[in-house]
Structure formats: structure tokens, C-alpha cells
């Protein structure tokens, strides 16, 4: 594997995240009565603990109070909704983060809908996602917003930019495509029924990949100089049996062709956490406008 320190075309997600978190910290310092973020984990899911730790660290860097709640895995849908409603009514709660995955008996979309849109810092309430259609992107899903932020970090002008989004999930691909259209980009969305993904991706100025397949995107699938945003997180096993994380892009090979590329880890992940904190500051401002905060 190449020494990534030598790859000047890598977009440093940690640096982008640090800038966003510094802006958040400045905002919080001027608003001492800001409430707390509440993370809700349902059941014992080991991988969720990693997300919670990263979010807690991000909140600390932004100066935002953070509380972790761990609900039993056998909690009923109705009881979970009651608890969310209590937080909706609690002036001390700035925003609610519902960790995924949830147990099979829990209807995730129903719980996300139960979170009031003004406390939906993840941008996962259907109302929040629907607002993107009207170019209101201030409270968009965090990973989708992170991908747009990283494209902006290249300095490319999004107006008229040819973007191919590979993957059309409800929380990443679709909202990211709509956000990019709101910025003036021309967006093609590819999915599992697309006949020739590479036919589309090879003409794009920017390729965003979110399919959950390790090394899906190779160097033959992009044009020289294109920007590549890798949203994938895949755990693979090396020849020695050691597990490690890779993205949806064959990073080392594609780096030889791409103008810019996000590494995994260190690309989209840190920015996603930072966007969550920025969403919290936006939620606070909207709560003030709605008369919730005096």
C-alpha cells in the first residue's frame, strides 16, 4: 500500500471537520443556554458504541453538552415513542440522535418520524428529507451533507458540475443527489438496476460512491482528474487474518487517476460527525425562531 502522506490529492476529511467544529464552538460560546444532544441506543449493538464515542468527542470539540441513553433491546415501539415525546417536550434537549441499527421489532422510520423536525439534528425525519426537495438543506442527513461539503473542499464550482451518484439509499444517495441539484449540479443516480455504471461514471466530474461493496470503484470507472467521494465503510480481512476498514473505492489505484479522492478512514466519517454538530446549531436557531428558546 502506498504511503498516503505522499498523496497530495487526498481530501483531508479531518481538516474539513475541524473547521466546521471550530465554527460550531464559536457559536456555542455565544449561546450559553444551548441545550444538550441526547444519543439513544436501543439494545446492545457493539458497533453502535463506536458511533456514540465519535459523536461524543465531536460534541466536546464543539462545546455541546452530550448525553448517552441506552434503552433495553426489548423496549416496545409505544414506550420508545413515549420517551421520544418527552424529549420533544423537554426544553433542555437540543436534539435527538437515534442510533442505528435498532432491534427488528422496532419500526425505525416510525421512531424517526416521532422526533420533532426542530430536534431532528440527524436530518432523518421524513419532513427534514422532504425539505431538501425545496432546496432547504440546512438540516439534511449528515452523511449526505458531508459528501457535498467534501466536494466543495476541492474548490470545484458545483454549478453545472457533472456528478454521478452511485447508490440511491434513502439516507445517503437520494438526499445527496437532491442537495447537489439544489447547488446547481447535474446529477445522474446509478443503482443496482443501472445497466452500465461505468458508462455514466467515466463522464463525471465528480463520482460519489455509497454501495457498501469493498473496492467497487476501480480506476477504469473514472475519467482523469475527477473528484471521488467514498462513503463506503466495509470491514475486510487481510491475508494474516487481521480485519481492517476499506471504502467502496480501490483508493490506491484510483488515486493515480483522480484529481481528488477521500480516504477511508479519514474522509467522509469525520465530516459526518461535524455536520451533526453544525445541524445542532441550526436546530437551535430554528428553535429560537419558533419561540421555543427565550
Give φ, ψ of 20 to 5 degrees: -65, -45
Q: What is the CATH number of the domain that holds 230?
A: 3.40.50.720
Write out pLDDT tens, residues 234-246.
999 888 889 899 9
Domain count for the chain, please give it: 2
Do 116 and 84 reside in the same domain of the chain? Answer: yes
Judged by DSSP in three states, 86 sits in helix
Whether residues 80 and 188 fall in one domain = no
Q: Which of 264, 254, 208, 206 is nearest to 233 (CA)?
A: 264
Return d(Cα 105, Cα 86) in angstroms, integer. Answer: 21
Is 263 in the same domain as 280?
A: no
Q: Residue 294 falls within a domain, yes or no?
A: no
Asked if 116 and 195 sit in the same domain, the reply is no
Find the helix packing angle between 268-289 and 13-29, rounded to 10°: 20
pLDDT in tens, 75-130: 999 999 999 999 999 999 999 999 999 999 999 999 999 999 999 999 999 999 99
Tell me the C-alpha distance between 11 and 129, whole Å.
27
167: left (phi over 0), alpha (psi -120 to 50) or beta: left
The rounded percent of the chain whose pLDDT value lies above 70 is 97
Residue 176: predicted pLDDT: 97
Phi/psi for 69 (5° steps) reads: -115, 135
Let me know whether 248 and 184 are in one domain.
yes
The range of the structural domain enclosing residue 191 comes to 4-11+135-268
Amino acid at each position: 500500500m502506498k504511503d498516503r502522506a505522499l498523496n497530495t490529492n487526498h481530501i483531508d476529511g479531518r481538516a474539513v471537520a475541524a473547521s466546521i467544529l471550530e465554527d460550531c464552538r464559536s457559536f456555542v460560546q455565544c449561546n450559553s443556554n444551548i441545550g444538550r444532544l441526547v444519543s439513544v441506543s436501543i439494545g446492545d449493538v457493539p458497533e453502535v458504541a463506536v458511533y456514540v464515542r465519535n459523536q461524543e468527542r465531536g460534541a466536546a470539540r464543539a462545546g455541546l453538552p452530550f448525553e448517552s441513553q441506552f434503552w433495553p433491546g426489548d423496549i416496545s415501539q409505544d414506550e420508545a415513542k413515549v420517551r421520544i415525546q418527552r424529549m420533544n417536550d423537554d426544553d433542555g434537549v437540543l436534539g435527538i440522535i437515534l442510533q442505528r441499527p435498532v432491534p427488528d421489532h422496532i419500526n425505525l422510520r416510525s421512531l424517526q418520524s416521532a422526533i420533532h423536525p426542530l430536534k431532528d439534528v440527524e436530518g432523518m425525519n421524513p419532513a427534514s428529507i422532504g425539505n431538501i426537495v425545496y432546496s432547504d438543506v440546512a438540516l439534511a442527513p449528515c452523511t449526505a451533507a458531508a459528501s457535498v461539503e467534501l466536494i466543495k473542499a476541492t474548490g470545484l464550482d458545483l454549478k453545472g458540475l457533472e456528478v454521478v451518484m452511485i447508490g440511491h439509499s434513502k439516507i445517503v444517495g437520494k438526499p445527496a443527489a437532491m442537495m447537489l441539484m439544489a447547488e446547481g449540479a447535474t446529477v445522474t443516480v446509478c443503482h443496482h438496476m443501472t445497466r452500465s455504471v461505468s458508462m455514466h461514471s467515466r463522464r463525471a466530474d465528480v463520482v460519489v460512491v455509497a454501495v457498501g461493496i469493498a473496492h467497487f470503484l476501480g480506476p477504469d470507472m473514472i475519467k482523469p482528474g475527477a473528484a471521488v467521494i467514498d462513503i463506503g465503510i466495509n470491514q475486510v480481512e487481510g491475508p494474516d487474518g487481521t480485519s481492517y476498514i476499506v471504502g467502496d473505492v480501490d483508493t490506491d489505484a484510483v488515486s493515480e487517476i483522480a484529481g481528488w479522492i477521500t480516504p477511508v478512514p479519514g474522509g467522509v466519517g469525520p465530516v459526518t460527525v461535524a455536520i451533526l454538530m453544525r445541524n445542532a446549531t441550526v436546530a437551535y436557531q430554528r428553535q429560537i425562531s419558533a419561540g421555543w428558546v427565550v
